[in-house]
A and B are shown apart, each in its own frame.
Chain A
Amino acid sequence: MAPSALSAADVRSVLARAMESTAVLAPVRRGRSSFAFQWIADPAEAVFSYPRTILPPKQALLPPREDLFVFQRAPEPAVRPPAAPDPITLFGVHPCDLAAIGQLDWAMQERHGICDPNYAARRAHTTIIGLECLPDEYCFCPSVGTAHTRAGADLFLTPVGEEFVAEALTEKGEALLASAGEKRAPSAEARDTWEHWAEDKESRVSRRLKAQPKELPDLLEAEYESEVWEATAARCYSCGTCTSVCPTCFCFDVEDVVEVGLASGARRRQYDSCQFLEFASVAGGHNFRGERPDRVRHRWFRKFVHLNREYGDAFCVGCGRCTKFCTADIGLVEVLNSIVEASE
């Protein structure tokens, strides 16, 4: 499908069209210098250029807290699945976050041959409008091969000057694009910028992983006892920010709750974090990772050893959130590189 040109006003009409039949999650400004995905009430709220949001679009597919089912005691005992999810549109999803949704799809729908029904129900009713970006100092998408991901998007936009080059990648994307009116071809200049975007993007990335993702399992395992874990833990608060903001982390905790009137309740799932003190504590009181360095090491091993082997690639998309939002300024790539250097 040949790319077409959209003005910013056209993109807002595409959003308005999406809002007629779906809830739309889009990046908006938050505070002084931050951005967050938020359910918008007006296309004008969405921003078209942002470095990264605090939480990834994961929040729409695997919410921080959700009820897996609800039950009631009165008037008669009954268990009900959650209401069917409303269709949603995710707007402004960067290539790294598209790649992350692909990884989450595997984790939540295919891994171990188990499909999570709540995730799958939301995912089946999701339309995605991707948005090209330029990296900042936290990004390392080229090191994990996600800089140019399009898979997952129905419509993909590249901002070129004041305009956008739009690619419809699915029928849903075609329909959205059609809502902007008569198609027009991008100017020769816009097309030129669009064609050279990939190399320009790569050339701007300064954070680089000093190994291939496929080499990491062996490298890390050889450094299981490295002092890097202790040194990193000395800075770590175990606050769980890195896992909450990670677009590919999917660990959760499940608890049965009953409201104080005892008439109804729910089986509730919420994000958990391998960094929390009690994450690996089990019945009888034993905690497998009661020491902070063990928890810190686990995070790197989980993403770059265990899931890397199981999935066939690093379970990380280079978005830079864990580093940008780390309350102690711990750098994910820096830790990996110090392991790589130690093994040289």
Chain B
Amino acid sequence: MAEKPRIAFFDFACCEGCQLTVLGLGEPLLKLLERVEVVTWREAMSERSDDFDIAFVEGSITRDSDIPRLRRIREQAKVLVALGTCATLGGPHVSANNCDRGELLRLVYGGEGAQFEAGEVRPLSAVVQVDAFIHGCPINGDEFLTVANHLLLGKAYHPPSRPVCHECKLNQYECVLDRGQICLGPVTRGGCDAICTSRGSQCFGCRGLVDDPNLNAAREVLAEHGYTVSDIIGMFDIYSLRSPAAAEARETARQDRGAIEKGAEPWRSR
């Protein structure tokens, strides 16, 4: 019996909801745990080890002091997986990049703000090479299992590039625009099974843009539905879909699929 790959979970700036999604998987998680050994997972256990093969990293990088820690994780990991939108694209807090940092700190913490270190919000790929991307806020648990399974089997995994509209239609949900709400489904990467539109909500674009978003069409069509430029920008800015960081991360994910693309159980190269 070959040695089981050693798995570690880490987090930076995030709500840890993606790790919680993994913890909430139930029976499939127990099956996965028969194939791997989890050695570090602060949210789930007290033991820890610096000897791991696959790192799942949640959260974005917001402080320069985070960088050496992320680099150490990268050096140790045979495979590094960005877990959730904060890690893959920067997440909702990328919007802080558009504000004056000092003013933000004063606004939130009053006179105490100066003691906190806070800098530009970046996805992991802005700092280290990322081998696989699991988008979502939070992630889709089934997609996590698919990616983990692909990784362990040495198969390439490509995040789907089809818009949320596809899954929304297959589930026969009434179009959100017809319900009188603004929606980013047509330009947002699917893979979520349209969970938000199934519950009467709209798509906020949490999985980022598809590989070839038609943003001109989005502007035109949403305007025809009566939405103003600030309505539209307001929606795009929740997950900072227009930010250079998100665009770079998307391009990185598309161009360089890293170790997983190469396949062949990279975590075995111990």
Contact = CB atoms under 8 A, between A and B. Distances in A.
A149 to B, nearest CB: 24
B76 interface: no
B236 to A, nearest CB: 15
Given A241-B165, A292-B212, A32 B178 contact: yes
Interface in B143-191: 145, 148-149, 153, 158, 161-163, 165-166, 169-170, 172-175, 177-179, 185-187
Contacts of B218: 237
Name the residue in B178, B211, B217 with the highest tally of chain A Cβ atoms < 10 Å from its Cβ: B217
A258 B214 CA distance: 34
Interface string A258-272: 111110000000010
A54 B145 CA distance: 30
A32 B212 contact: no
Contacts of B34: 261
Name the residue in B28, B169, B185 with the highest tally of chain A Cβ atoms < 10 Å from its Cβ: B169
B175 A327 contact: yes
Contact of B153 (A30, A38, A241, A258): A258
Contact of A327 (B149, B162, B185): B185
In the complex, which range does the number of interface residues on chain A fall in?
Answer: 35 or more
A340 B220 CA distance: 26
Interface in A28-43: 30-34, 36-38
B32 A260 contact: yes
Contacts of B153: 258
B169 A241 contact: yes
Interface string A240-276: 1100110000000000001111100000000101001
B172 A239 contact: no
B31 A261 contact: yes
A164 B238 CA distance: 52
A245 B174 CA distance: 13
Contact of B31 (A30, A259, A276): A259
Contacts of A278: 158, 161
B20 interface: no
B46 interface: no
B174 A33 contact: yes
In the complex, which range does the number of interface residues on chain B fall in?
Answer: 35 or more
Contacts of A239: 162-163, 165-166, 185-186
A31 to B, nearest CB: 3
Contacts of A241: 165-166, 169
Contacts of B165: 237, 239-241, 327
A72 interface: no
B163 A238 contact: yes
Contact of A260 (B149, B173, B212): B149
Contact of B217 (A53, A234, A244, A273): A234
A53 B175 CA distance: 12
Contact of B178 (A34, A240, A260, A262): A34
B224 interface: yes
B162 A54 contact: no
A235 interface: yes
A34 B186 contact: no
Contact of A328 (B32, B186, B212): B186
B161 to A, nearest CB: 5
B35 interface: yes
Contact of B28 (A32, A245, A260, A271): A260
A271 B179 contact: no
Contacts of A30: 172-174
Contacts of B166: 239-241, 244, 273, 276
Name the residue in B175, B187, B216 with the highest tally of chain A Cβ atoms < 10 Å from its Cβ: B175
B225 to A, nearest CB: 9
B179 A31 contact: yes
Contacts of B185: 239, 327
B191 to A, nearest CB: 13
A325 interface: yes
B96 interface: no
B148 A260 contact: yes
Contacts of B83: none
B221 A329 contact: yes
17 contacts: A30-B173, A31-B179, A32-B178, A34-B174, A34-B178, A235-B214, A236-B214, A238-B212, A239-B162, A239-B166, A244-B169, A259-B31, A260-B32, A262-B35, A277-B210, A327-B221, A329-B224
Given A244-B169, A260-B35, A328-B186, 7 more contacts: A30-B174, A32-B178, A33-B178, A55-B172, A234-B217, A236-B217, A239-B165
